[in-house]
Structure 1
Amino acid sequence: MSLAATTRAVLQEAVDVYQDSPRATSWLQRQLTRFDDPLRLAVVGPQGSGRTTLVTALAGEPGQGEMTWFRTSPGRSPDELMLMDTPAIDGGAAPSTIEGICMDADAVLYLVRRPSEANLEFLHTLQDHPVARAAAVNALVVLSRADELGGGRVDAVISARQVARRYRVAPEVERLCQDVVPVAGLLAAAGRTLTEAEFQALGALAGVPREELEPRLLSADRFVAEDFPAPVAAAGRAALIERFGLFGVRLALTLIRRGANTLPALAGQLVPRSGLTDLRDAIDGYFAARREVLKARSALIGLEVVLRMEPRPAAAPLATELERLLAGAHDFRELRLTAALRTGRTVFPAEVKSEALRLIGATGTSRAERLGADPVLLAVRRWRDHAENPELSARERRAAAVVLRSCEAMANGSV
């Protein structure tokens, strides 16, 4: 039986045990209902981190209040994820606000402007729960103003990716999140919602001789100055800066000069260059593709709250079952190993890494997708050899043991 199915059954047992407690019953029924709801993805960060901007970029339209529908990739139904735009999480954020986010969200995007300014206290709080600590698989750190990390150059996001690679393997970050992804949020939102008027204005500016335009692109003040005899009025240039940022304007003009001379062509290059495509892939791979596991995790957290707040002798078997589920929840180990392999925290040779990701469900969770044409018993033997190979590091052997467990589950028919 899958983790989600087992968790549903345990929750139903808990409803029976707590049928005389309206508060507990209502809470448990809410956890059961959430299994059938879209996955809830909270966008969290301090003031100025670009939460609302990123929601617009992901959804392709301005956020609609606290909840916005989000389609992760073509072919998926639009109600698979709901984006939650949350209050700013600063040093003075109320504990109730943080607790509410932790309890309401199945997964979290935690936005920081730059690693040196990152306050990881929220992520510590997010995992400050027995179930959460046992399954720290529901957070991504987003460097949401990646263009600033690269000094606003047209290759700024490339530089930000190098920063992210170093940051994601830092021990304090590794324990708290699945991955670190850089995004130029302002550019991503502008690219997703680019208008014809904006495209025309950018096209006109791209026609200005470079020797006249380049000095004006050294700062926003120079670009919007009244004494700049540009084909676009100062107010129009100011609007472009507000929408794209100086980095986005520079990049857009460069792309137009290189041949992106239609609105779809320009938008089609701005979005991936903003890093948004990488973020959407991360959300899809870490969250959407394993939504049932993350929903089960949320439900187990909800169950633990009831068991702790209203202990009773009849609930003792539920507490035991909760501990058993957490100790044996291999799905969580697969998610952690997926992140470790993709981020370089755990290193295998390329072919071994590719096979490991496939077997643990990173490229598809069905038995056929995991195994491909590989006979399951052959996979078991191969990964048992890896898990017992003294030439591998202890970390690599532990990773191989996780893959071996996945293979054994397929061999005995539980996957």
Structure 2
Amino acid sequence: MMDEPSTMVAELLQDTIAVYHDDPQAQETLQHHARRLEEPLRVAVTGMVKAGKSTLINAIIGEELAPTGTAECTRIVTWYRYGDTPRVTMIPREGEPRLLAVKRVNGLLDFDLRGARAEEVDRLVVDWPNSSLRDMTLIDTPGIASLSGDVSARSTDILIPDSGSSAVDALVYVMRHLREADLTFLESFRRISASQPGAINALAVISRADEIGAGRIDSLLAARDIAKRYRNDSTLGSVAMGIVPVAGLLAQTARTMRQAEFAILLELSKLDRAERERMLLSADRFIRSPDHISADAAARAALLDRFGIFGIRLATVLINSGTTEPTELAHELARRSGLNELVSLVAGQFQVRADHLKAYSAMVGVETLLRERPHAGTEAVAASLERIRVGTHEFRELRLLAASRTTGLNLPTGLAAEAERLIGGMGVAPSDRLGLAREASADDIRSAALVSLARWHAHAENPLNDRATTEVCQAVVRSCEAILARLP
């Protein structure tokens, strides 16, 4: 069921369809936007080549669906969406869609392109009965800045097309460390994304965070310090809602850990600590060291491929600290990998705003159509579009949030940070907006909201304000009132 802003946009689309009744191309575009209002949120995962995009997708889904490494399919845009029955569909650049065989090899989903080359395939669509995909379609893209211009173009065509709006609603950008090319791409996405000129709808992930500390147990602490420094950097902060470090390989393995792997880890944990650390000095030493454990070289190599040195070290430490059940260990490894924080950010910044992001995308589509394909009778549509854009508070929050991260809110630093939080910059749950713990009671939320409401009323009525400042304060007041209105 759509909320009020989405309903208004759906009606706007129908009115626009009626105006463009004699333009088949416009009709197709508008019908596409109407269908998207009913679909799950589209979240693309992209980044440089070998940044760990597919590994991260597998971790989020909790299954090994996305091919990793240098497989042919990693050069193809692949959609992962919910379906009651497993199905893989190949959409060629020319010709009709074809169903592919659904099969696994060594636990991994295997894509047989039936003789087609990657450059002949527009995209793959994987329908899969996984609860993580019910409210969010994940889109795996080939690496940008690839040595192959065709491979890079596959990502840019869907994310930052030359004309029209992006085909996705939000973006998770994966990087090993921040480079100029990363900033350039994120800035391009912000300019052309569906919410233009609305909210910044991208998150940045420092993947392979365990490599920052050379595989030491405290590697993620060092990665979090770097993420904090990036968050405080106005350049990256202007194009990304948040930056989170994730040990991607460990996150994927934690969500898909096998009993045989746990047995090897349990055996390793029983070794003398000094002996175990000598084994883990390098990958080669771990695989070829004397037979301190029963696992042969092939099993050790497989364990290393799945966990990495960091994951093996962390798992054995956790087991020796009392985490002795496989399920408990898997949950703790996932938490420590940074995956839970990422999933929480995606939920708090994207999924709860799904209807608004999709509706804003449709509005941008209508606006683009009116500008590029003028048509008699669009005056009423343009007026309705402007009324929705200006009069809908949820969209006003999106625009202010974008302004906060780019040009600023024309408020003192402390007030600007509070205003950004109250309009949803840290998440749209009442506790997030008010800076309270997630488990805060309704009474605590009500008290904090009333205090914030009174304070921002006073700011809004300050006679020394200029018009822009007063409008920001009034928007924050409206956000506080909305929090109170939703309480029981």
Q: TM-score, normalised by structure 2?
A: 0.72
Amino acid at match of 1:183: V
Aligned to 1:185: 248
Q: What's the secondary structure of 1:180's corresponding residue?
A: strand
Aligned to 1:47: 49
Alpha-carbon shift at residue 66 of structure 1 (Å): 2.4
CA distance in structure 2 between the aligned counterparts of 1:26 and 1:243, rounded to whole angstroms = 45
Choose between structure 1 and 2: higher strand proportion: 2
For residue 82 of structure 1, the aligned residue among 137, 144, 160 is 137
CA distance in structure 1 between the aligned counterparts of 2:427 and 2:443, rounded to whole angstroms = 7
Q: Provide the identity percentage.
A: 38
Q: What's the secondary structure of 1:66's corresponding residue?
A: strand
CA distance in structure 1 between the aligned counterparts of 2:34 and 2:376, rounded to whole angstroms = 23
CA distance in structure 2 between the aligned counterparts of 1:232 and 1:386, rounded to whole angstroms = 67
Amino acid at match of 1:29: Q
Q: What's the secondary structure of 1:128's corresponding residue?
A: helix
Amino acid at match of 1:2: E
Q: Is 1:196 paired with 2:253?
A: no
CA distance in structure 2 between the aligned counterparts of 1:32 and 1:22, rounded to whole angstroms = 15
Q: Is 1:362 paired with 2:362?
A: no
CA distance in structure 2 between the aligned counterparts of 1:37 and 1:133, rounded to whole angstroms = 20
* Structure 2: runs of 5 or more not aligned: 67-77, 84-130, 161-165, 433-440
Q: Is 1:331 paired with 2:394?
A: yes
For residues 238-296 of structure 1, give each alpha carbon's deviation from its aligned partner in whole angstroms, at most 9, with x where no partner exists: 11111111111111111111111110121121010000110111011101111111111
CA distance in structure 2 between the aligned counterparts of 1:135 and 1:324, rounded to whole angstroms = 16
Amino acid at match of 2:393: H
Aligned to 1:99: 157
Aligned to 2:19: 17
Alpha-carbon shift at residue 214 of structure 1 (Å): 0.7
For residue 349 of structure 2, the aligned residue among 281, 286, 294 is 286
Q: In the alignment, is the contact (CA less than 8 A) between 1:136 and 1:177 conserved in 2? A: no
Amino acid at match of 1:288: Q
CA distance in structure 2 between the aligned counterparts of 1:130 and 1:338, rounded to whole angstroms = 15
Q: Is 1:66 paired with 2:43?
A: no
Choose between structure 1 and 2: higher helix proportion: 1
* Structure 1: runs of 5 or more not aligned: 71-75
Q: In the alignment, is the contact (CA less than 8 A) between 1:136 and 1:175 conserved in 2? A: no
Aligned to 2:375: 312
| CA distance 1:79–1:211, shift in 2 (3 Å) | same
CA distance in structure 1 between the aligned counterparts of 2:237 and 2:425, rounded to whole angstroms = 22
For residue 382 of structure 1, the aligned residue among 455, 459, 466 is 455
Quote the RMSD (CA, aligned, Å): 3.9
For residue 326 of structure 2, the aligned residue among 260, 263, 266 is 263
Amino acid at match of 2:286: F
**Which aligned pairs between 1:102-181 and structure 2 lie closer than 5 A?**
102=160, 103-116=166-179, 119-129=182-192, 132-181=195-244
Q: In the alignment, is the contact (CA less than 8 A) between 2:46 and 2:171 conserved in 1? A: yes
For residues 20-42 of structure 1, give each alpha carbon's deviation from its aligned partner in whole angstroms, at most 9, with x where no partner exists: 11111111111111111111111
Q: What's the secondary structure of 2:363's corresponding residue?
A: helix
| CA distance 1:180–1:349, shift in 2 (3 Å) | same
Aligned to 2:118: none
| CA distance 1:94–1:199, shift in 2 (3 Å) | closer
| CA distance 1:131–1:213, shift in 2 (3 Å) | closer
Alpha-carbon shift at residue 304 of structure 1 (Å): 2.9
Aligned length: 402
**Which aligned pairs between 1:207-246 and structure 2 lie closer than 5 A?**
207-227=270-290, 229-246=292-309
